[in-house]
């Protein structure tokens, strides 16, 4: 009797082995983990960068303040992670190390583009050697150096610069809103409203202030919004 092995059998056990059609199954599995992660929206405005995130509180006994989705990497750079939480924290720590190393060596802040290069190279290494696995995380980096910039780095280590993007389980619905309503010269308040509208399209009745986290990066630096400020934007106030 002939035994037929499942599709991908033998090619998904080691990250360094390509399948006959040129895929790395472990990398694809990592991307599937990202698709199940809480949604984060990143938007480039005319005077800065905005990030709005769903904290995806899974139980009503969890303290909302204990969940963090948006992080300060340096005074001019913010980051958000989508996917496996522990993997994301590791990448946040690594990004902070790279930013501080650059300051110590060159006595100037790292550019967003350079940090993206360093982090994409770091993430790619985990797709190349045996005994390792890819990070089950997409890293969203945004900030302001010479101009506002928003980058997305997927688990394969591939970076992409965006005007506006959404990552996570609500990507499809959120991207429809961003594609329809994004404007290149929009202000920071307008960008916040657009980001929250994009999340609301996916979350629907679950769209509540307690599960929304928001931050901005301008020439003045990184600033995370308070829960009260988030509520004001949700109710149409600047």
Task: Render 40-75 in DSSP notation, one character per residue.
Answer: EEEEEETTEEEEEEE----STTS-GGG---EEEEET
**Structural domain of residue 47, as residue ranges?**
37-234
pTM for the model stands at 0.90
pLDDT at residue 66 in the model: 86
2 pLDDT above the threshold of 60: no
CATH of the domain at 54: 3.60.20.10
Query: Does residue 50 sit within a domain?
Result: yes
Query: Does residue 137 sit within a domain?
Result: yes
What value does the mean pLDDT of the chain take? 92
Q: pLDDT digit string (tens) for 113-134?
A: 999 999 999 999 999 988 889 9
DSSP 125-183: HTTTSTT----SEEEEEEEESSSEEEEEE-TT--EEEESEEEESTTHHHHHHHHHHH--
The total number of structural domains that make up the chain: 1
1 pLDDT above the threshold of 50: no
pLDDT band at 136 (very low <50, low <70, confident <90, very high): very high
């Amino acid at each position: 009797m002939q035994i037929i092995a499942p599709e991908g059998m033998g090619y998904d056990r080691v990250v360094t082995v390509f399948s006959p059609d040129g895929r790395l199954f472990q990398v694809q599995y990592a991307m599937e983990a990202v698709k199940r992660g809480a949604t984060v929206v990143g938007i480039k405005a005319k005077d800065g960068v905005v990030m709005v995130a769903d904290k995806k509180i899974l139980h009503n006994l969890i303290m909302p303040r204990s969940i963090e989705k948006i992080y300060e990497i340096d005074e001019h750079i913010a980051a958000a992670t989508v996917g496996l939480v522990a993997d994301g924290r590791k990448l946040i720590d690594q990004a902070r190390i790279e930013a501080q190393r650059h300051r110590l060596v060159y006595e100037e802040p790292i550019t967003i583009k350079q940090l993206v290069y360093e982090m994409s190279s770091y993430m790619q290494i985990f797709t190349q050697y045996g005994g390792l696995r890819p990070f089950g995380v997409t890293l969203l980096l945004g900030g302001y150096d010479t101009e506002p910039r928003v980058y997305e780095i997927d688990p394969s280590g591939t970076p992409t610069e965006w005007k506006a993007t959404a990552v996570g389980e609500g990507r499809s619905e959120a991207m429809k809103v961003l594609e329809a309503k994004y404007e290149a010269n929009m202000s920071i308040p307008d960008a916040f409203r657009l980001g929250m509208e994009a999340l609301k399209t996916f979350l629907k009745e679950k769209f509540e202030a307690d599960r929304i986290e928001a931050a901005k990066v301008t020439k003045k630096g990184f600033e995370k919004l308070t829960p009260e400020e988030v509520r004001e934007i949700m109710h149409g106030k600047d």
